[in-house]
Chain A
Amino acid sequence: MAEPASTRPGAGLLDRDAIRLSERAATTDEAIRRCGETLVEVGAVTPAYVEAMLAREQTISTYVGEGVAIPHGTLTAKECVRRDALAVLRFPDGVDWNGNRVLVCVAIAARGDGHVEILSELAQILLDPERARALREATEPDEVLALLSPVRKESTA
């Protein structure tokens, strides 16, 4: 059943269950596996998607700056996506990401364009040092949900 709140663009992409704020990983691959497993657990992708995420990372790093990486699969792995979804994993101890230190992963599973709004919002957050820090230091899922909800904010436009 559709809820009224889900008419907001991007709503429903990020389940509270898919927000994991005290993860640990020794390597990039391990962090990506944790991201992929989370997407599998919330029913967004089939397990094969995790391998595609690892393969994608080999081609080009998904590190986007401000301690954040956005691991996702490849074009051919779109068939492994059951529904568009995001997962947010925080690694408080940091993960070495090919020379960069990653504290937060925003993992993406997308077949359509539903995630575009949230990624657009994420870009704005990362360009704002204060909000970027809030995302890196979030300890409650609600903080993450509030930051990433793609509601047009009247900031400095």
Chain B
Amino acid sequence: MPSIKGNDIHKVVVACDAGMGSSVMLASTLRRQLSRHSVTVEHTPVNDIPADADVVVTHVGLADRARASAPDKVIVPIRVFLGDPAINTIIMAVQYGGDLHG
């Protein structure tokens, strides 16, 4: 299972199917939450995860596709698009360092 140190997280990608709705909303919230840190947040289709992504956030229903598309990346699956506890693990890792697994 890949892991990454909080200090090495520079780009978080929210991977989605259509890139039209929920993932857009999640990306904008996360961008705001990480605005004090030098971390960029993008949303991209799950089949087109960029090579420079450090962490991939995606709905549990898309996690397998995300893993197939980016096998070496830390994948953080979420169930709800607003206020999922898994999002906090990313924020904590960025803020305080520590390892993020996925």
A interface residues with partner B (beta carbon < 8 Å):
56, 59-60, 62-66, 70-75, 77-78, 108, 110, 115-116, 119-120, 122-124, 126-127
Contacts and interface: CB of A to CB of B under 8 A. Distances in A.
Interface in B11-59: 17-22, 24-26, 28-29, 32, 45, 59
A124 B32 CA distance: 10
A58 B14 CA distance: 20
Given A65-B82, A75-B18, A127-B83, A116 B59 contact: no
Interface residues of B, number: 20
Interface of B: 17-22, 24-26, 28-29, 32, 45, 59, 61-62, 80-83
B83 A65 contact: yes
A60 B25 contact: no
A108 B21 contact: yes
Task: Please report whether the interface of chain A is mostly helix, strand, loop or mixed according to DSSP.
Answer: mixed
24 contacts: A56-B17, A59-B17, A59-B61, A60-B62, A64-B81, A65-B82, A65-B83, A66-B82, A72-B18, A72-B21, A74-B17, A75-B17, A75-B45, A78-B18, A108-B20, A116-B24, A116-B28, A119-B24, A119-B28, A120-B24, A120-B28, A120-B29, A124-B29, A124-B32
B25 A73 contact: no
B59 A60 contact: yes
Contact of B82 (A59, A77, A123): A123
A9 B17 CA distance: 25
